[in-house]
Amino acid sequence: MLYVVCFWFILFILYSFIGYICEVINVSIIEKRFAWNRGFLIGPYLPIYGVGCLIMVLFLSRYEDDILVLFIMSGFFGGVLEYFTSLIMEKIFKLRWWDYSDRKFNINGRVCLFNIFLFGVGGVIVVKFLQSILSYVVYLIPNQVTIGLGIFLFLVFLLDVIESFYITARLKINFNRYLNKDATNKIKEEVAKTLRMNMAFTSRLLKAFPNFSLNKKFNDFAELFNKVRTDVRVKRLKRKIKKVKNK
């Protein structure tokens, strides 16, 4: 039983890492710069891809010989996963991590038709080709090594999740206590203090999520948030200029 759990967890990490690589390549091409910093976690993996791929493997393998159905179902599951991941993270942190409102055929800015198309293509590749290759590679590893590796990767992943959630939770501003009060100034102070106390981590998140923004309920404070965003980018630019001058 432990071997089976570790076997699938290693596959989860592999898919998460492959998803990370795909994100880096895709964003680097779009932005015409090397965008290595992707995702909510610190490590080079994106769990949403790991979860999505395992869902496709476990539930859609029956459609392996029907490419069209596999494509449609993969797009559907991928879109649902991305939508609810965005919704849940926004509910937890009161922050919007990505926004596709500027793209055609989007649903509340959380998912768009182009992404659903990519999920469909990805699902076909994963179910028909990638799963058999990765599972065979992991299967070649001795059982005890698989168990040890799986436990080690799980501990590293768990520590990363705890650390990332802890730090990001410090960016979570408690607006609820102000909802029935005219306390604009106090809320602004809380927003600024929370963001600036975590300037380094905020900078990393802004690189990973260019459309990172406050929950739409709090548009009154968008100007302040954008100012902090600008402060982060200006400081980053100053560091680059300083490095060039010192060469």
- H or E stretch covering 95: strand 95-96
Distance CA(150)–CA(152), nearest Å, equals 5
- For residue 23, pLDDT beyond 90: no
pLDDT tens per residue, range 45-81 = 899 999 999 999 999 999 999 999 999 999 999 999 9
Can you give the pLDDT at residue 147? 95
Structure tokens at 222: 């968008």
Distance CA(83)–CA(87), nearest Å, equals 6
Question: Is the Cβ–Cβ distance between 93 and 169 less than 8 Å?
Answer: yes
pTM over 0.95: no
